[in-house]
């Protein structure tokens, strides 16, 4: 039994109850075709307040999603109406998802860091110019030229040492650039301090071991070698 049939039966039961309560006579004929589509013919007769006979003749026809109603009131006009009902049926289905095995996808290999075939670091042919340390290249020619000009323009060697320390906290340099910086300091102890501060940023420290000859004091020269060997 579909929802239209149930609605029609409920309506007729309601009318029959109302007719009984009002002491009225009611005739009802309900039919259902092969498509489970109901139709009904309902006649209600009773006495009015002035003793006259009153009645209602109502025909209900349901088909598909439509319900047609035709009502004839004794002593009045015939009224018809049509109501369209749309019912959406939602069927709940339990979906059982089978576990899917997905083959692990190989992660694409990272391309090696690009190393330019040639860089100008302001030191001529310099193998350290295309070498990285901590992922960083040494200063290019323009940057290194600016650093050297700044250091040379400072007359006081202690002030120059402080300036060099600040510059090499961020900038990297090749062994050749490193050697030119060391030549700016005449005092061997000051030169050693500069070497200690800049050594962690020399991209090819093994090429700077020969600079120990810049120290006349062998003890200071040996200490320099230990510093560079530890890099």
Q: What is the pLDDT of residue 118?
A: 78
Domain end call among 78, 111, 144: 78
Is residue 54 one of the residues assigned to a domain?
yes
Q: What is the pLDDT of residue 29?
A: 64
Is residue 181 one of the residues assigned to a domain?
yes
**Do 140 and 224 belong to one domain?**
yes
**Do 133 and 67 belong to one domain?**
no
State yes or no: pLDDT of 219 exceeds 70.
yes
State yes or no: pLDDT of 70 exceeds 80.
no
Domain end call among 13, 48, 78: 78
- The pTM of the full predicted model, rounded to 2 decimals, is 0.51
The whole-number average pLDDT for the span 205-218 is 96
**Do 133 and 215 belong to one domain?**
yes
State yes or no: pLDDT of 81 exceeds 60.
no
Is residue 176 one of the residues assigned to a domain?
yes
CA–CA gap between residue 166 and residue 1 (Å, rounded): 91
**Do 225 and 139 belong to one domain?**
yes
Distances (CA, A) of 160 to 48, 93, 150: 121, 81, 9
**147: domain range?**
127-229
Is residue 142 one of the residues assigned to a domain?
yes
Q: What is the pLDDT of residue 222?
A: 96
Is residue 215 one of the residues assigned to a domain?
yes
Residue-wise pLDDT tens digits, 105-144: 655 545 444 555 679 999 999 999 999 999 999 999 999 9
Q: What is the pLDDT of residue 152?
A: 96
Residue-wise pLDDT tens digits, 100-111: 656 656 555 454
State yes or no: pLDDT of 51 exceeds 70.
no
Query: Which residues, including other chains, have CB under 8 Å from residue 91's CB and lie 6 or more apart?
Result: none
Structurally, the chain folds into a number of domains equal to 2
**Do 47 and 134 belong to one domain?**
no
State yes or no: pLDDT of 97 exceeds 50.
yes
Please choose, from the candidates 223, 166, 221, 176, the residue with its C-alpha nearest in 3D space to the C-alpha of residue 202: 176
**Do 70 and 137 belong to one domain?**
no
> Two tokens at 167?
């510059």
- What is the SS3 string spanning 47-68? ECCCCCEEEEEEEEEEECCEEE
Distances (CA, A) of 116 to 25, 89, 138, 141, 143: 106, 68, 12, 15, 17
**Do 66 and 143 belong to one domain?**
no
**Do 210 and 153 belong to one domain?**
yes
Q: What is the DSSP letter of 124?
A: S
**Do 72 and 162 belong to one domain?**
no
Q: What percent of the chain has pLDDT over 90?
A: 49
Q: What is the pLDDT of residue 42?
A: 64
**Do 61 and 143 belong to one domain?**
no
Is residue 201 one of the residues assigned to a domain?
yes
Domain end call among 43, 62, 78: 78
Is residue 7 one of the residues assigned to a domain?
yes
Range name among 32-41, 79-88, 166-175, 216-225 with the lowest pLDDT average: 79-88
43 beta partners: 27, 57
User: Do the bridges between strand 66-73 and strand 53-63 make them parallel or antiparallel, or are there none, so unpaired?
Assistant: antiparallel
Is residue 108 one of the residues assigned to a domain?
no
The whole-number average pLDDT for the span 54-59 is 65
């Amino acid at each position: 039994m579909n929802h239209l049939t149930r609605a029609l039966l409920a309506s007729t039961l309601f009318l029959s109850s109302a007719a009984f309560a009002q002491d009225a006579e009611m005739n009802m004929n309900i039919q259902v075709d092969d498509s489970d589509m109901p139709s009904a013919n309902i006649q209600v007769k009773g006495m009015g307040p002035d003793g006259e006979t009153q009645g209602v003749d109502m025909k209900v026809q349901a088909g598909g999603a439509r319900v047609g109603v035709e009502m004839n009131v004794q002593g009045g006009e015939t009224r018809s109406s049509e109501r369209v009902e749309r019912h959406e049926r939602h069927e709940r289905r339990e979906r059982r998802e089978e576990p899917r095995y997905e083959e692990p996808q190989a992660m694409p290999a990272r391309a090696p860091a690009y190393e330019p075939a040639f860089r100008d670091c302001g030191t001529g042919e310099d193998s350290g110019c295309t070498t990285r340390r901590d992922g960083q290249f040494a200063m290019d020619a323009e940057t290194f030229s600016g650093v050297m000009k700044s250091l040379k323009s400072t007359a006081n060697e202690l002030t120059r040492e402080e300036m060099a320390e600040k510059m090499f906290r961020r900038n990297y340099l090749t062994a050749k650039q490193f050697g030119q910086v060391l030549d700016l300091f005449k005092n061997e102890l000051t030169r050693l301090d500069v070497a200690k501060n800049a050594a962690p940023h020399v991209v090819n420290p093994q090429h700077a071991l020969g600079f120990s000859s810049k120290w006349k004091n062998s003890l200071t020269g040996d200490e320099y070698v230990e510093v560079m060997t530890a890099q």
